Amino acid sequence: MNKGYCHIYTGNGKGKTTAAIGLIVRALGHNKKVVIIQFMKDDKNYGEFKYLHDKILFLQMGRNEFVNYENPEDIDIELAKKALIKAKEIIQSAKYDLVILDEINVAIMFSLIDEQAVMDIMKSKPESLELILTGRGATKKMMEIADLVTEMKEIKHYFSKGILGRKGVEY
Amino acid sequence: MNKGYCHIYTGNGKGKTTAAIGLIVRALGHNKKVVIIQFMKDDKNYGEFKYLHDKILFLQMGRNEFVNYENPEDIDIELAKKALIKAKEIIQSAKYDLVILDEINVAIMFSLIDEQAVMDIMKSKPESLELILTGRGATKKMMEIADLVTEMKEIKHYFSKGILGRKGVEY
């Protein structure tokens, strides 16, 4: 059995969640078992959800509202904590080859969940599991224990010209 | 019809091709028409090829050998030029919503194809087309005319520990 690694995709540029989705496709091409848990998201209209929800275990465990990061609501904290418990359960079941925790870095940055609890999951994951954490604001400590870290750095983005997210590209 | 943009994913970090693959999935979730042309690749064992080749137009237009960048062989130049002609034809057909030119930045960096020819394609693409260029070494001029540029910056990579590419993760 191959050793699995822990990846972090962070930074302010476009391409973090999409890179994770790309890894899902690559894994499916080799008949691997995949789960994605999305923190702070609940929107069935995302292209990746529409396309993958009947092919992998695809869990959206937030709600379809922006989290107020300065003063998150109780419901957001509760949902993120539930998502983390679910993540832990899934990871420890050792039934999957690839687990994506999408936007989990942001959930930590917004203080919805504890950095230490996530680090414990990273450290105690099954040997062969590939574990992917996405979202801006990954902490230094998390990056230290990850095996691979890519910073998606925004050089230029059409959002800065006032363009809004578009169906099939941003969601 | 939405306006389409030109994205570049470059840099030395992991996540460029996978981000493009993620965009494919997102587009498929919204029933969009997608093509990927891979420069300098010909390996049907890539997970993304195995999974997507019967769902989208998936063209691998290189050969399964590393290109010697200091002294590329005629066959590599010929294949890259053919891939570029094909890309132009596909883009100008205006039959697709999303076109990925995977590793095209590297093909330019290795002097297999001309930067100017690629810039002409970027500038003359159909209004609604989303065009994605991947690969390290994107040129400054190309980044200037692109609408979105993300640099995937390697902060840490297990390859530096001597780990080789693994099935279902790197290919």
What's the rounded Cα separation, in Å, for the pair B99 and B91?
Answer: 7
Would you state the structure tokens that stand for residue B98, as one six-digit string?
């999303």
pLDDT, tens only, A25-68:
999 999 999 999 999 999 999 999 999 999 999 999 999 888 99
- Is residue A102 a contact partner of residue A20, using CB atoms and an 8 Å limit? yes
User: Nearest-CA distance from B84 to chain A in Å?
Assistant: 24
The pair of three-digit structure tokens given for residue B102, joined into one six-digit string: 């995977």
Q: pLDDT confidence of A94, banded at 50, 70, 90?
A: very high
Q: What is the pLDDT of residues B13-35, one digit of tens each?
A: 999 999 999 999 999 999 999 99
Q: What is the DSSP track for A39-91?
A: TT---TTSHHHHHHTTTSEEEE-S-SS---TTS--HHHHHHHHHHHHHHHHHH
B32: Cβ contacts below 8 Å, ≥ 6 apart: A168, B97, B98
> Would you state the pLDDT for residue A1?
61
pLDDT of B21 reads 98
pLDDT mean over B38-66: 96
pLDDT recorded at residue B1: 61
> What confidence score (pLDDT) does residue A6 get?
97
Chain A contact set for B52 (CB, 8 A): 25, 29
**Do residue B150 and residue A155 have CB atoms under 8 angstroms apart?**
yes
3-state secondary structure of A8: strand
Burial (CB count <10 Å: 0-12, 13-18, 19+), residue B54 = exposed
Give B92-110 pLDDT, tens digit per residue: 999 999 999 999 999 999 9
Nearest to B25 among A51, A98, A151 (CB): A51
Rounded to 5 degrees, what are φ and ψ at A88?
-60, -45
pLDDT band at A4 (very low <50, low <70, confident <90, very high): very high
Mean local confidence (pLDDT), B105-132: 97
Q: What distance in Å separates the CA atoms of residue A2 and residue B167, rounded to the nearest whole number?
A: 9
ipTM, two decimals = 0.94
What is the pTM for the complete model shown?
0.95
Q: What is the dihedral of CA B34, B12, A3, A1, to 10 degrees?
A: 40
Residue of A nearest to B25 (CA): A48
- Residue ranges and CATH numbers for the domains of chain A are 6-161 (3.40.50.300)
